Chain A
Amino acid sequence: EAGVVQSPRYKIIEKKQPVAFWCNPISGHNTLYWYLQNLGQGPELLIRYENEEAVDDSQLPKDRFSAERLKGVDSTLKIQPAELGDSAVYLCASSPDGKNIQYFGAGTRLSVL
């Protein structure tokens, strides 16, 4: 069974440019999470989806970040415009319905110059 797939693995952009990350969760997993992880820190939740509905986006900086999960499967996370402080690893995770287990993707390492 394939795991959570994220792309790209690495992204280098200049500040003020837009950037998008893509996540394909494990097949059948209805819950999808986007986390941000800074160096030396634990993952911090940005947004959680149940199917196509964003059930918790309280920590998503909505002035520049947006996310979508069309058809309740793949998801994209966008930043526009990117700032220097957005440099971090963006992790996607998915969970089977009703289960307290998260499976993480390999992450996208973003560097904003």
Chain B
Amino acid sequence: QKEVEQNSGPLSVPEGAIASLNCTYSDRGSQSFFWYRQYSGKSPELIMSIYSNGDKEDGRFTAQLNKASQYVSLLIRDSQPSDSATYLCAVNIGGTYKYIFGTGTRLKVLA
């Protein structure tokens, strides 16, 4: 079983700060990486995808990928209380459309 690991948290940051969420994966053949946000009692919602090494920015969100280190991260700038949720990292298996999810990191943004 391929693994995706995340710190379960909770990660607490003050409003306006940068939240940094991390994810490591074991399958070197993985090519696609995703961050989902899941509010309590709701379904996962895709917020970022990244396929190449380096950074990808979308508004307040930046995804970072380092395939050599098998590491993907999500930065949330100017964190807001509405960002409080669980963030799930998902990785595809090899070149397939099968995805393995991490356990998620619970983020709390304190007003």
Known pairs A43-B44, A106-B42; A100 contacts B97 (CB<8 A): yes
Query: How many interface residues does B have (CB within 8 Å)?
Result: 22
Whether B99 and A41, one on each chain, are in contact in the complex, defined by CB atoms closer than 8 angstroms, is no
Top 3 closest pairs, chain A to chain B, by CB: A42-B101, A104-B43, A100-B32
Chain A residues with Cβ below 8 Å from B51 are: 100
User: Complex formed: what's the CA distance from A44 to B102 in Å?
Assistant: 9
29 A-B contact pairs sorted by A residue (CB < 8 Å): A31-B97, A40-B8, A40-B103, A41-B103, A42-B88, A42-B103, A42-B104, A43-B44, A43-B88, A45-B98, A45-B99, A48-B97, A56-B98, A91-B43, A91-B44, A95-B97, A100-B32, A100-B34, A100-B51, A100-B92, A100-B97, A101-B49, A102-B46, A102-B99, A103-B46, A104-B44, A105-B43, A106-B43, A107-B43
Chain A residues with Cβ below 8 Å from B78 are: none
A residues with CB within 8 A of B = 31, 40-45, 48, 56, 91, 95, 100-107
Find the residue from B34, B43, B98, B99 having the highest chain A CB count within 10 A.
B43
Chain B residues with Cβ below 8 Å from A91 are: 43-44
| CB closest chain-B residue, reference A105 | B43
Chain B residues with Cβ below 8 Å from A102 are: 46, 99
Chain A residues with Cβ below 8 Å from B42 are: 106
